[in-house]
Amino acid sequence: MTPRAFWDRHGDLWELDPAGRNCRLVWASGEHGPRTFSGGWVPLWYARPLLEPLIPAA
């Protein structure tokens, strides 16, 4: 089973959709303090550079 959430190298938390094709930013550490997001889904390729060490190559 693939994890549905990943911390990136900047300390931000991303959620992966059940199909594994899209992700969204859930929580960001931020320079000015932590923030919670309820943003929309973006294609996985958009965030892949941040998540690359965490997501196995397709």
The residue extents of the domains of the chain are 5-51
* Structure tokens, 40: 């929309």
What pTM value is reported for the model? 0.63
Q: Which residues of the chain have pLDDT under 70?
A: 1-3, 31-34, 36-38, 50-58
pLDDT score for 17: 87
Phi, psi of 43 (to 5 degrees): -60, 145
pLDDT score for 48: 72
Cβ atoms 25, 17 nearer than 8 A: no
Cβ atoms 5, 14 nearer than 8 A: yes
pLDDT score for 10: 76
